[in-house]
Each structure stands twice: as structure tokens, then as C-alpha cells.
Amino acid sequence: MRSLTAALALLLTTSTCQGFVAPTSSHNLHQIITPTTTPSSTQFNKQQPLSRLSVATDINAVGAPGTADLPWSELGFEFRPTKSHLRMTYRDGKWQEAEMVESPYINVHIGATALHYGQACFEGLKAFAHEDGSVNLFRPDENAKRINRSGHRVMMPEIPVETFIKACNDVVKDNVAYVPPYGSGGALYLRPLLFGSGPRIGLQPAEEYTFIVMVIPVGDYYKGGLAAPVDGLIVDDYDRAAPKGVGAAKVAGNYAADLIPNMAAKKKGFPICLYLDAATHTLVEEFSTSNFIGIDNENKKYITPKSPSVLPSITNKSLQTLAKDEGMTVEQRDIEIAELSTFDEVIACGTAVVVTPIGSLTRFDENGEESKYQFTEDVGETTRRLYDTVRNIQNGEIEDPHNWNYKVE
């Protein structure tokens, strides 16, 4: 486990960025960082050690998780109001100071590029309460890298990694009461969002951008979590992303494209959709909001698609590492539809779902005839083992050998 101080100290040895501090006073705003020096010395750089900022380093300074009046054992994956969100604006070529805002509303210019041209991307990560009362973010550095890759694809400014991590740290600290308590099975879900907030009528990038981080206490994405596998539908009438498009970027439009097929599948009794490659409809790509994993237990193989249209999942990346730790062979390659019949277990994975076992995948041909790929009726042994390992690391119950946890300070 890495402390935020140690993580940022490491980052600061290799990067320079415009730092941020909260204003000394503002309506409905809460201070993020309190400089112990004058405002002119609040830039992050190689010469300024992190110790010159007043950063909380003990649990009591952060506060106790799980003290909000919520039904912790009944949480699903849905919006719930919390204390605040973090907001930061990019203007005049640089990021301005960050603010904590209690109002859940934001004023946006009617000409904002996010509204007209979809210039927006987002992330998803979680914070977990540990038994010792601390709260830890899971791999926020990877989310920082991915939001910058997504932003670059749609011409938005980079958010320095240390700025992103500090923003996540501070919004969790300000909402620590909403972090589900240790043992509840829940987590505080963070949704960083970057969008073009400046006006443009012609197709071009904005001059102003807004970055926010909202937080929501959540439970399982699919009711029951790992209790039972869910049945999926293979989608033929729609495509999620085109070759050489934006499928590998976490941009808002990718998810809007899934709304119609997703809702139609649910009406048929399938809570999750599996998309095929748009060019040939012969290769497995990914689920609606999750990466695809196929498990071959006999040959100890973990197989996941390699495609420029698939969003690189941080959960998948973590599970691949854990699978390799166990001695499994990890393969990232094309997966023909016919190969589905060879898998003992199929998994949908992502930050929101963590790991969802797939019991079957059904496909309908143009005449409405059904074909079905059946997997385990119960949670598979490899699915269970990988899930338990990553969740135990997230909850601080076993060793964190790869230093994925960042302690909130």
C-alpha cells in the first residue's frame, strides 16, 4: 500500500505541473489544501517538497468512514446525494485552483462543446474502508493515465497525474462519512469527468474545460453480486464502436450507443450485452460496460480480446496480473465466436461490476432462431478465486504485493 505522500513524492521527481489550492473563502466551497507558505509558492515542482503542504497523515484527521445515515447493506449501483464534489477549470492555458462544491448542479454555457460535439470523457474508480479505519483508493494512477489518453483522443488538456490523484484524495476525505464501512461489501465510487465547457459553434476544441469528481456510495452493480451468474445476449443489430474509432477511449458517446440494445436486452431477460467486432461480427469484443474474459481451466488460460475498439480495463489489467501470479497463461488476442464453446467460465469485469460471472450467452439469428453458449451454473472456481483476491486486496485483508492501494490522507 502506498501513502498519498509517498506516491506524490515519487511523481514529483519526474514531473512539473500547475498546482492547485482552494480559495480562502467562497460560498459552498471547502478547502482542499492549506499552504503553509504564501500563495505564490503553491506550484508543484521538483524544488518544492510535498512536506510544505499541510496534508493529513492520520486516520483521525481524515475522519471515520461509514458515519452517514445510509442503509449500507442495501446499497445498489445508483446515484445517491453526498456532501460535495470537486470542481476545477482549465482556462487561459492552465488549470485553475480546485474547489469543493456542495451544490449538485453546474451552470454550463449553451455553446459548450460537450453538449454539441460530445467533447467529454470520464473515469470510474473506488475507495474502500479498511479494518483499521483508513480509507484507500484503488489504482488511481492508472485512472489518471487513462483519462489523459481519452482526453487526448478528443483534444482536451492533460490533467497531471499528481493533480488527479490529489483531487481524488481530497474529495474522498471531504465525503469520508459516505464511504461504506468495512465489512459492508460496499465502496465509495468516484466518477471523474472532463468536458469542454467553453462555447464553440464550428467543430473545433473548446478554450475552456471543466474537471469534476463526484462520489457515490455503492454496492453491487448487478443485484446479488457474485451470488449467481447472469445471462448475456450477443448483440447483432448494433455495434458498440467502429474500427479506428473511439472505442478505446472512455468518452461519453460510447455509452449512449449502448442504451437502445441494453434496454431491449433487459426486456428479453438479459441483464448484459456482448458486442462483436463491427467489421465482421465474427470476433468477441466486450460487454456493454465491461471487458470480456474467457477462462480455460484445463489449460490454465486467461483469455481476453485484443482490439483497438476495446476500452483497456484497469480491473482486467489487475486480474491479469493476479492470474499470472497464480501461474496462469494470459492471452490477449482475437477470440472467434465459435471459441466461446471452449470456455469453462466467462467473466465480465470492470470498476463498477468488479467481476460478474456469465452463466450463458444467447444469440438470435435473422430468423429468430436461438443458439446458446452455456457456462457454469454456479460461480466458477477461477472466477471466485480471482474475485476474492482482488477484493481482499481492495479491502486491505491480504498483502498488497503490487502496491495498488493509495491511502487517503
Residue 202: Cβ within 10 Å count: 6
The alpha helices in 2-46, defined as continuous H runs, are 4-12
User: Are 86 and 165 spatial neighbours (Cβ–Cβ below 8 Å)?
Assistant: no
Q: 166, 173, 250, 407: which one is catalytic?
A: 250
**Distances in whole angstroms, Cα of residue 346 to Cα of each of 87, 267, 333, 341, 377:** 39, 22, 16, 10, 11
**3-class SS of residue 407:** strand
Q: Is 250 a catalytic residue?
A: yes
C-alpha closest to that of 189 among 140, 152, 236, 222: 140
Q: Which residues pair with 289 in a beta bridge?
A: none
User: Are 277 and 334 spatial neighbours (Cβ–Cβ below 8 Å)?
Assistant: no
DSSP, residue by residue, 327-379: TPEEEEE--BGGGGGG-SEEEEEETTTEEEEEEEEEEE-TT--EEEEE--SS-
Q: What is the bridge-based pairing of β-strands 230-235 and 272-276?
A: parallel
C-alpha closest to that of 143 among 128, 164, 158: 164
User: Are 169 and 406 spatial neighbours (Cβ–Cβ below 8 Å)?
Assistant: yes
- Give the residue numbers marked as catalytic: 250
